[in-house]
């Protein structure tokens, strides 16, 4: 379900956060479904429980999951999460467009990248 990419320069906990965001937003893990326990997932990925703990704390902070002491972590999906993610993507797109503009790429040329790329 989760795979760590050690070639990725981002920290492990961040990769885990992103992966679970995807799984939740795409409905692969559904509302109120139980997340893997901190210790189980740590064992499975051969990393330290503290790292999972950090990822789960972040997911809870962002509203993706909720924790019940003694029972586990559960998915707390709502439409607001999807909207938040969309907004994040809008911002990233803006930043790239700005970066393109800064080196003299016109809006038309930029849009062209999206057209002829036909990105998978």
Partner DNA sequence: TTGGTGTATTAAGGGTAATAGTACAGAAGG
Partner DNA sequence: CCTTCTGTACTATTACCCTTAATACACCAA
Which residues of the chain form contacts with DNA (CB under 7 A)? 11-14, 35, 37-40, 47-51, 53-54, 56-57, 60, 67-73
The C-alpha atoms of residue 76 and residue 59 are separated, in whole angstroms, by 10
Which of DNA, its own copies, none binds 108 (CB below 5-8 Å, type-dependent)?
Answer: none
> Whose structure tokens read 């790429």?
105
Asked if 58 interacts with its own copies (CB under 8 A), we say no
Beta-strand ranges (E) seen in the chain are 65-68, 72-75
3-state DSSP assignment of residue 49: helix
User: What is the smallest separation between the CB atom of 6 and DNA, expressed in angstroms?
Assistant: 9
Does 66 bind its own copies (CB under 8 A)? Our answer is: no
Q: How far is the CB of 1 from DNA (least distance, A)?
A: 15
Number of helices and strands in the chain (H, E): 5, 2
Of 10 and 90, nearer to DNA (C-beta) is 10
Instruction: Answer positive or negative: Cα dihedral of 84, 86, 92, 93.
Output: negative
Q: Which of 69, 70, 71, 104 binds its own copies (CB under 8 A)?
A: 104
């Amino acid at each position: 379900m989760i795979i760590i990419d050690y070639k990725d320069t981002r920290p492990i906990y961040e990769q885990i956060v992103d992966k679970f965001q995807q799984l939740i937003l795409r409905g692969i893990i559904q509302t109120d479904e139980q997340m893997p326990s901190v210790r189980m997932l740590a064992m499975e990925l051969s990393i330290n429980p503290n790292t999972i703990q950090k990822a789960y704390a972040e997911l809870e902070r962002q509203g993706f999951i909720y924790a019940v002491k003694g029972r586990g972590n559960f998915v707390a999906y709502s439409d607001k999460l999807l909207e938040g993610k969309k907004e994040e993507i809008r911002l990233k797109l803006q930043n790239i467009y700005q970066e393109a503009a800064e080196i003299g790429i016109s809006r038309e040329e930029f849009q062209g990248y999206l057209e002829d790329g036909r990105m998978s």
